[in-house]
């Protein structure tokens, strides 16, 4: 039962708060693989989590879209940045990501918008400082430094971008109550983001490195479902 309780904790908090006792009781007679699959399915489809409003469900799907697409773009851009021309495709995907975010983003009241701005400033301060340090070092040395230093600078540069993507996702996920986005616009935005993620995955497969990541991104349209179409 200890293992079962640990597996139940893998489910989203909303699930555990709403159906915690029932989930644990049902899990006692379930196979561990079923519990793992159920937890993964719950995380991959935030639109079906218990929610207080449609706006809360939309916020979850938006946060999921930001994190999956943003981290996918970052990881694949890092892998394929080797002069084979694929980085241009990823730049186009980045434009699509921004357009999708504009469609799914709610229009919060001024107080909520200010709170989001403060969260972004706090979250992005670290990555911004790290990136500026790398730029300053590169300009100060005119790009002439030993290979170990070059590797360290590259890791810091891409690490700063990775942290920035994560912090933006966290800020969106933690935004307070906001009005629901019109369903048609929201569905269009999610589809744009899912299509961008699939294009990023296809680019990864063409690059021939880490094909598992490419396949995962290709499956994004199956994961990013809107509340209106979620089962």
Between CA 216 and CA 213 the distance in angstroms is 5
pLDDT (tens, 9 = 90+) of the chain, 231 residues, equals 566 677 777 777 777 777 767 766 766 555 667 777 777 777 767 666 776 777 777 777 777 777 777 777 777 767 665 545 677 777 788 888 888 878 877 776 777 778 778 888 888 898 899 989 988 888 888 767 777 888 888 888 888 887 887 787 777 666 666 666 788 888 888 888 888 888 888 887 877 766 777 787 787 777 776 655 443
pLDDT at 164: 84
Label residues 61-98 b or e (16+ Cβ within 10 Å = b). Answer: bbbbbbbbbbbbbbbbbebbeeeeebeebbeebbebbe
pLDDT for 209: 65
pTM of the full structure: 0.59
CB 124 within 8 A of CB 164: yes
Q: pLDDT value at position 179?
A: 67
Instruction: Give the C-alpha separation, 126 to 95, whole Å.
Output: 25
């Amino acid at each position: 039962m200890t293992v079962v309780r640990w597996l139940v904790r893998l489910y989203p908090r909303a699930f555990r708060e709403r159906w915690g006792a029932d989930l644990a009781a049902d899990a006692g007679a379930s196979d561990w693989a079923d519990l793992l699959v159920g937890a993964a399915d719950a995380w991959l489809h935030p639109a079906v989590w218990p929610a207080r409003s449609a706006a809360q469900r939309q916020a979850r799907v938006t946060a999921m879209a930001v994190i999956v697409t943003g981290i996918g773009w970052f990881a694949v851009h890092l892998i394929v940045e080797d002069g084979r021309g694929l980085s241009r495709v990823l730049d186009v995907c980045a434009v699509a990501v921004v357009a999708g975010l504009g469609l799914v983003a709610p229009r919060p009241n001024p107080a909520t918008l200010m709170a989001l701005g403060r969260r972004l400033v706090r979250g992005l301060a670290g990555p911004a400082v790290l990136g500026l340090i790398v730029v300053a070092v590169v300009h100060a040395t005119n790009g002439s430094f030993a290979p170990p230093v070059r590797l360290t600078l590259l890791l810091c540069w891409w690490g700063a971008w990775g942290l920035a993507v994560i912090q933006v996702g966290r800020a969106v996920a933690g935004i307070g109550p906001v009005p629901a986005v019109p369903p048609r616009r929201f569905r269009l935005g999610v589809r744009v983001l899912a299509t961008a993620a699939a294009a990023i995955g296809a680019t990864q497969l063409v690059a021939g490195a880490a094909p598992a990541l490419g396949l995962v991104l290709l499956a994004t349209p199956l994961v990013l479902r809107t509340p209106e179409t979620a089962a």
